[in-house]
Amino acid sequence: MTTIGDVAREAGVSRSTVSSVLTGRKFVAPGTRARVELAVEKLNFTVNSGARALATSRTMVIGVVVQLHGMEFSPALAPFVFALSDAARAASYDVLLMTESDAVGAIRRVAQTRRVDGLVLLNIVDDDPRLAALAAHDIPAVLLGMPRDSRGVDAVDLDFAHAARRLVEHLHERGHRDVLFARWSSAMFDAGHSFVWRFSDAAFACAQELGMRLRTFEVPVAPELIPAALAQALRDRGDATAVLVHDDAAAALMPSALHESGLRVPDDISVVSLFSAELARSFALPYTSVESDPGRVAAGSIDVLLRRIAAGKSAVSTVHTLLTPRMVDRGSVRDLTQRRSAPVR
């Protein structure tokens, strides 16, 4: 293994000088610098990250804590993990993937052994035990998600309330007044996944403001039950002219449900939802939707986390960021305004 000492010898300088050009934190005479760089090149030298970590107390590694309870829809979760990896790498950090069911133990472990400089927590729920673990070990962290009470931890998430409003308004603009709301199982509400009620509350509030009717259909937790149950709900939709879907699995299985119920989009029924472009691609979902944007949410999380790491103990106030989502119109909403206005004239 070639070390900083070998480089120093090759360049005819001291190890400190080599270190100075490596870290770039000190001015080094151009000539000296050049000699060092040449030696580095020649010996194909790279700093030993463990040694550097020991000397600097910085690992340049971020831990990503994801918990798979089984209620999550993993095809929708994975893109966030990959996006976090990309965002971290763009900032010269590596990502340690932590999937242990005992997340609290995992946090303790990496915090105490100083394996990472900070943590990103995924699929956070209200009263998440991981939040207490964070506080106990006082390690920089950011939540990708927005619990009711973040316990002083920074958090970044999509603005689900805004997303709901965008979709309901979109339906309203096109003349829809009676909408089926296919939403996450109440088990998800009970488990404290706050994004479900943030979306739900806003959807109902917006519908009420606009004088629209929203009928709830609770999507089953088990994916294998979804197509049939959803098809049934669509058949029993009464005068509803559109369906608002907030449940990744239901969105993904919507094509099956539609076929099963024999309905065509947007002629027989309009559809709007919320999912990522990647899910749309993987599942061939041709529905107008708000983009859940794993890339942007992940980048935002890493950004906040790095600031927190840099700020250190200087307790700046907690940062909560809600990213305003954008909508992708895929033409799955029929315009009813002409038909509606006709009888009035």
| Binder of a copy of itself out of 12, 16, 26, 68 (CB under 8 A) | 68
Site string for a copy of itself, 121-160 (x = CB under 8 A): ----------------------------------------
| Binder of a copy of itself out of 133, 196, 253, 265 (CB under 8 A) | 253
Report the distance separating Cα 71 and Cα 125, nearest Å: 12
Does 73 interact with a copy of itself (rule: CB under 8 A)? yes
- Which of 277, 210, 280, 269 shows the shortest CA–CA distance to 244? 269
The nearest distance, CB 170 to DNA, in angstroms, is 52
Residue 23 or 318: the one with the smaller Cβ distance to DNA is 23
Site string for a copy of itself, 285-304 (x = CB under 8 A): -x------------------
Does 215 interact with a copy of itself (rule: CB under 8 A)? no
Three-class SS of residue 94? Answer: strand
Cα angle 224, 226, 232; round to 5: 130
By a kind-dependent CB cut-off of 5 to 8 A, residue 286 interacts, out of a copy of itself, DNA, none, with: a copy of itself
| Binder of a copy of itself out of 260, 268, 277, 320 (CB under 8 A) | 260
Q: List interacting residues with DNA (CB under 7 A).
A: 1, 3-5, 13-20, 22-23, 25-29, 31-33, 45-48, 51-52, 54-57
**For the chain, how big is the Rg over CA atoms in Å?**
26
Residue 96: half-sphere exposure toward Cβ, Cα within 13 Å: 18
The nearest distance, CB 122 to a copy of itself, in angstroms, is 12
The nearest distance, CB 31 to DNA, in angstroms, is 6
Does 227 interact with a copy of itself (rule: CB under 8 A)? yes
Residue 140 or 266: the one with the smaller Cβ distance to DNA is 140
The nearest distance, CB 33 to DNA, in angstroms, is 7
**Residue/partner pairs of 57-60 with CB below 8 Å, 24 or more apart:** 57/114, 58/117, 59/114, 59/115, 59/116, 59/117, 60/92, 60/93, 60/94, 60/117
| Binder of a copy of itself out of 226, 240, 297, 305 (CB under 8 A) | 226
Where helices occur in the chain by DSSP H, the ranges are 4-11, 15-23, 30-43, 49-56, 74-90, 103-112, 129-137, 160-173, 186-191, 194-209, 226-235, 248-261, 277-282, 294-311, 337-344
Report the distance separating Cα 259 and Cα 141, nearest Å: 44
3-state class percentages of the chain: helix first, strand second, coil last, to nearest 5: 50, 15, 35
Contact criterion met (CB below 8 Å) for 63 and 93:
no
The nearest distance, CB 322 to a copy of itself, in angstroms, is 26
Report the distance separating Cα 175 and Cα 171, nearest Å: 7
* Segment interacting with a copy of itself, rule: CB under 8 A, options 3-11, 53-61, 186-194, 202-210: 53-61
The nearest distance, CB 101 to a copy of itself, in angstroms, is 9
Which parts of 306-345 interact with a copy of itself (CB under 8 A)?
A: none
Neighbours of 281 (CB within 10 A): 9
Report the distance separating Cα 286 and Cα 53, nearest Å: 48
Axis crossing angle, helix 103-112 with helix 129-137, rounded to the nearest 10: 10
| Binder of a copy of itself out of 64, 131, 158, 168 (CB under 8 A) | 64
Residue 224 or 239: the one with the smaller Cβ distance to a copy of itself is 224
Residue 54 or 187: the one with the smaller Cβ distance to a copy of itself is 54
Report the distance separating Cα 3 and Cα 46, nearest Å: 8
Query: Is the omega angle on the peptide bond into residue 266 within 30 degrees of 0, that is, cis?
Result: yes
Which residues here bind a copy of itself, judged by CB under 8 A?
Answer: 1, 44, 46-51, 53-54, 59, 61, 64, 68, 73-75, 78-79, 81-82, 85-86, 89, 94-100, 109-110, 112-115, 223-227, 249, 252-253, 255-256, 259-260, 278, 281-284, 286
